[in-house]
Amino acid sequence: MVGPMDFTTNDEIGLLIAGHEQPPVILCQWHHPYYQRLLEHELGMGKTMDVYMWSLHITGRERVHPAIWEAADRLEAEHGIVCRPFRKKDLHAEVARFVKLYNTVLERNWGFVPLTEEEVYHYAKDLKPILDENWAMFAERKDTGEIVGGALTLLDYNQVLAKLNGRLLPFGWIRALRERRRIDAVRVIVLGVMPAYRHTGVAARLYQMHFDAAERTPQKGGEMGWTLEVNESMNRALEGMGAEIKRRYRVYDRPLADPVGS
């Protein structure tokens, strides 16, 4: 038995064990602190993996290591790679590009389950009303158009939902439209680069584009993740960008043959 998690690691996973004092951002779960005691001490669950949610600072460029900006600025001239916004009007084709990128970037991750194009298209239709082209982007080769990296970031609509008290009708939708303009945070769902291009500065340029977006929108910060605790390269890169761990989730396991509480 492994969990808690949704059907796969492509959705919400883990029990919140640190960061309870903060309200959950979009597509993040929240649990009471005593759940950890119940799972570990009363049900005998053992730790399988921890995952991190990181703070995202997208103001104050001086806090970021200068090497990141240097790599971003050299990307097009040295490697012929450009970055562009996600095109909502071309949703089906963009989804196909995202599936290939996502499955290639994450295929070696612990617990990875490949996404199908049908799954992602379903997600995309659900997310299209809240998808902001300022915060979704691809990196592609200028000569071939091949997608080599990308990022999907969502506005933190939990800020809106928390004020509706579960009531969209009859007039909650009016408040939702008004409150949408006041969302000041985002969540990076995924930011990834194809293995052959990880030395080029694509990730640095995608991160730079988040700073650019923050300068023209009300969103000035948020959270990134999740990342596996064993993903040292990504975690060190986030530290280099000035990020800090804001939440920690834990996935447990227990052989089903064990009696409960043993």
CA dihedral sign, ordered 55, 106, 28, 118: positive
Total count of residues recorded for the chain? 262
Question: pLDDT digit string (tens) for 23-52?
Answer: 999 989 999 999 999 999 999 999 999 999
Cβ–Cβ < 8 Å for 186, 135:
yes
Q: Is residue 67 part of a domain?
A: yes
Q: Given this model, what pLDDT does residue 258 score?
A: 60
- Distances in Å between the Cα of 129 and the Cα atoms of 88, 133, 180 are 10, 11, 12
Q: Is residue 47 part of a domain?
A: yes
Q: Given this model, what pLDDT does residue 74 score?
A: 96
Q: Given this model, what pLDDT does residue 175 score?
A: 74
Cβ–Cβ < 8 Å for 171, 118:
no
Q: Which domain holds residue 179?
A: 2-253
Q: Given this model, what pLDDT does residue 128 score?
A: 80
Q: Is residue 49 part of a domain?
A: yes
Cα of first residue to Cα of last residue in the chain, in angstroms, is 15
Residue 8 — pLDDT band, cuts 50, 70, 90?
Answer: confident
Rounded to an integer, the average pLDDT of 73-84 is: 96
Q: Given this model, what pLDDT does residue 169 score?
A: 63
User: Considering only CA atoms, which of 46, 30, 53, 29 is closest in space to residue 247?
Assistant: 53
Q: Is residue 48 part of a domain?
A: yes
Phi, psi (5° rounding) for residue 13? -140, 155
- The Cα–Cα gap between 69 and 50 comes to 30
Q: Is residue 215 part of a domain?
A: yes
Q: Is residue 261 part of a domain?
A: no
Phi, psi (5° rounding) for residue 20? -65, -25
CATH of the domain at 244: 3.40.630.30
Q: Is residue 262 part of a domain?
A: no
Neighbours of 131 (CB within 10 A): 18
Q: Is residue 260 part of a domain?
A: no
Question: pLDDT digit string (tens) for 241-251?
Answer: 788 999 999 99
| pLDDT over 70 (residue 135) | yes
Rounded to an integer, the average pLDDT of 126-147 is: 91
Rounded to an integer, the average pLDDT of 42-65 is: 91
Q: Given this model, what pLDDT does residue 170 score?
A: 66
Give me the number of domains the chain comprises.
1
